[in-house]
Amino acid sequence: MKLLFTIAVSLLMTVTLFSQETTNLIYSPAASFVVTGNGDSNDLTTFDNLCLDAAGGCTLRAAIQQANALAGNDTITFALNTPTTINLRLGELSVLQSVTITGPGAKNLTIQRDPSIALGRIFNIQGPFGDGTTVNISGVTIANGKMGTDFGGGIRNAPGNTLNLSGVIDRDNSAEVGAGFLNYGTLNIVNSTINNNIANSEGGGIHNQSIGTVNIANTTISDNRATNFGGGIATFNQMTLNNVTISNNTAGVRGGGIYNENVNVSLRNTIAANNSASSGPNVYGTTYSSRGYNLIGNSAGSLGFTNGVNGDKVGSSTAPVNPLLGQLLSNGGQTDTRELLSGSPAIDAGDDCVTSGCVSGSPSTLLTTDQRGSGFSRRTDGNGNGTATVDMGAFEFPAAPVSCSYTLGSNSQSFSNSGGNGSFTINTNSTCSWSAQSNNSWVAVTSGNGTGSGTVQFTVQSNPGAARTGGITIAGQTFTVNQDAAAATLTYEGDITSRPNGDGSILSNDVVQMRKFLNGTDTINLTTDEFRRADSAPFASRGDGKILSDDVVQARRYQNGTNPKQTVGGPMTQSFARTDDEFDNQGAKLSKTTSENAVLGNPREVRVESASGSAGQMVTVNIRVNAVGNESEYGFIITYDTSVLSNPVIGAGNAGASVRSCNSTTTPGQINCSVGGFPNDPNQNGIGEIAAGNNQILITVTFTVAPNAPVGVTSLTLSNVNASSDAPELFRP
């Protein structure tokens, strides 16, 4: 009966106050007032649209009095040195008309009862019943209201009014009922803290009357007390909660966190835990509607919550769920919060619909941040699984360091010697970044940075040498780039160059051979050393395809060594595919040729045959004789390049020479050889000689090729040749 009687009196007071003020309303466009002083004094002339007290300043009370006199949605802001406190000496602030009061931040401005005043609430929203008055208050602390045995210590919201609170702290208020808030109208609270309020009977933090409606989001309700019911909240009409933390509240009888008098109370993403009461320590009542993803530490005394259903985590008296909450502290922003501690079951356990819109029971304003506001996202990846999810409660646990793992879509790519463009994918978590770097100058990364899964793009230059392998390093892994060898190039020295079986004379057959080479009907065959095509071959820039006297002169100069390596207008080049056995480990090719040292004359012939070898390997060269007379002994000096060849070893040929005396001279890279002891020839009176016309190998010389031998040509030269016959010898490579 006491509660009903009080409601009736409150309604009567509201009507009386409204009837007193309406006779003097001024209808004008919405006005803006700036509070410049933290005192508490009345406006000097209430209806002049000027906020001025007797001292010429604008106080909060004077600004509200001016707004009450104007029939518009006026605004009140503050220009004060902060932090500061406004002590109300003249009683509560009565708001009669729609107004928006925007403070500088709850920690910067406190509006409280002056300690010298025994009783008094802070705000009384008294807009006339049914008039639709809307009051918006943000960025202030409402504190120390004290009503004794009356109701509504901090704020009273009369029937028919809509009160929107954002970024507000409502603390340290006391009353018989509804110490923090007493609501008869519509009350919307977001990003706020309600703490340390004490009710002698019901509703320590909030008391929602039977005609009131309450929507709360991103708000902490903590450390409030009621002697009887509803330490945090006592509600007698519908209430909707999204991402609310209700903890450490106490009721002497029922509903330490929430007392529900059998009305529709819906919860989503809400924590109600660590509260205390004789019955229903966290939530009391039988008509709760879980919209999912709530944490109820101990659901004793309530119905509507089932562990594991709709994402709810629900404990019992014997097995409570601990949300792992910190103390009520300043954890950022303008309002205090109870942070989620590491390992809390509330981390990443909420419903993301509060950020985009729920099917039903959405918060009055979609939540983009947690209670702390700007800089504190409502969705983070608190458990480090790579997906950001809303937490339960008002506080969002900071994003955990993400453990990044990376997987390449492929491990390698191969290219021809001409190069080209390549790419490969990398897969990782959405918050993991990566950067790709080339390990080789011939591989260039063109797109190599990103966050989350992506694609690396690169280019490969053309290859002028041997086959090669490169790589791209990314996230501790290597992507391999393989490239084929380039085509090799042979160089011809001039219009005229000798071939292995050339006879030193320019004949008609040589001209035919040259023309076949020019028109492409006879291509290169490396295995038969045909890069020396004939006695005649053209050079690139001056060859005219004709055999002239100048060409013959050049051939003789080339053969007798007077100008062995000088091109005449050339060189001419020809490309061919290289095979693996033609390269050493550096891609170097050992030449097949020697330079010539010959005397034109009778075609007796001793020559050095071509040979191919690889760097770091062995190569064997044949010294061949084409006998004309019946020679029984040959002598000659072999000269070689010691930077390429070393450790010569003499071996037997098929000429059957039993005497092979070859010794190094005092000149590095020279071997003086005497070869004889051929098998007896019965046609020559039993003397060991080589018969005329025999084409045989006198000896073999095996060299070790230098490990760092470059691609190119090295020379092996015969000189000081003599034989038992007086006929001159012709020596060829």
Residues 228 and 172 in one domain: yes
Does residue 436 fall inside a structural domain? yes
Give first-to-last CA distance, the chain, whole Å. 130
Domain holding 459: CATH number? 2.60.40.10
Residues 336 and 289 in one domain: yes
Residues 524 and 465 in one domain: no
Measured between alpha carbons, how far is 2 from 7 in angstroms, rounded to an integer? 9
Average pLDDT of 247-261?
Answer: 98
Does residue 302 fall inside a structural domain? yes
Residues 141 and 244 in one domain: yes
Question: How, if at all, do strands 716-723 and 633-640 pair?
Answer: antiparallel
Does residue 206 fall inside a structural domain? yes
- Check pLDDT > 50 for residue 210: yes
Measured between alpha carbons, how far is 371 from 244 in angstroms, rounded to an integer? 9
Lowest mean pLDDT among 247-256, 508-517, 539-548, 653-662: 539-548
Write the secondary structure of 254-307 as one string of H (helix), E (strand) and C (coil). Answer: ECCCEEECCCCEEEECCEEECCECCECCCEEECCEEECCCCEECCCCCECCCCC
Enclosing domain of residue 536:
508-555
Lowest mean pLDDT among 188-192, 256-260, 294-298, 487-491: 487-491
User: For position 573, what pLDDT does the model report?
Assistant: 38
The 10 Å Cβ neighbour count of residue 388 is 17
Residues 240 and 312 in one domain: yes
Mean pLDDT comparison of 40-49, 284-293, 695-704, highest-scoring range: 284-293
Q: Write out pLDDT tens, residues 559-612.
A: 454 544 343 333 333 343 443 333 333 222 333 333 233 333 344 577 788 787
Lowest mean pLDDT among 387-396, 559-568, 712-721: 559-568
Q: Write out pLDDT tens, residues 635-668.
A: 888 899 888 889 899 988 888 887 778 888 888 9
**How many folded domains does the chain comprise?**
5
Residues 58 and 105 in one domain: no
> What is the SS3 assignment for 12?
helix
Does residue 540 fall inside a structural domain? yes
Which of 340, 368, 401 is where one domain is finished?
401
Percent of the chain with pLDDT over 70: 75
Residues 515 and 366 in one domain: no
Q: Which two tokens stand for residue 554?
A: 């050049």
**Per-residue confidence band for 205, with pLDDT thresholds at 50, 70 and 90:** very high
Residues 197 and 331 in one domain: yes
Measured CA to CA in angstroms, residue 507 lies from 498, 502, 504, 646 at distances of 12, 10, 9, 39
Q: Write out pLDDT tens, residues 67-79.
A: 999 888 999 999 9
pTM above 0.95, yes or no: no
Q: Write out pLDDT tens, residues 136-169.
A: 999 999 999 999 999 999 999 999 999 999 999 9
User: For position 518, what pLDDT does the model report?
Assistant: 52
- Check pLDDT > 50 for residue 495: no
Lowest mean pLDDT among 256-270, 372-386, 525-539: 525-539
Domain holding 711: CATH number? 2.60.40.680
Residue bearing the bigger pLDDT, 592 or 720: 720
User: For position 512, what pLDDT does the model report?
Assistant: 54
Question: How, if at all, do strands 729-732 and 604-608 pair?
Answer: parallel
Does residue 584 fall inside a structural domain? no
Among residues 466, 490, 696, 713, the alpha carbon closest in space to that of 611 is found at 713
Q: What is the mean pLDDT of the chain?
A: 81
Residues 199 and 58 in one domain: no
Does residue 2 fall inside a structural domain? no
Does residue 299 fall inside a structural domain? yes
Residues 612 and 528 in one domain: no
Q: Write out pLDDT tens, residues 263-278.
A: 999 999 999 999 999 9
The 10 Å Cβ neighbour count of residue 663 is 10
User: For position 659, what pLDDT does the model report?
Assistant: 75
Does residue 729 fall inside a structural domain? no
Residues 392 and 412 in one domain: no
Which of 381, 401, 421 is where one domain is finished?
401
Residues 372 and 424 in one domain: no
Which of 346, 366, 401 is where one domain is finished?
401
Considering only CA atoms, give the Rg of the chain.
Answer: 52
**Per-residue confidence band for 346, with pLDDT thresholds at 50, 70 and 90:** very high
**Per-residue confidence band for 513, with pLDDT thresholds at 50, 70 and 90:** low
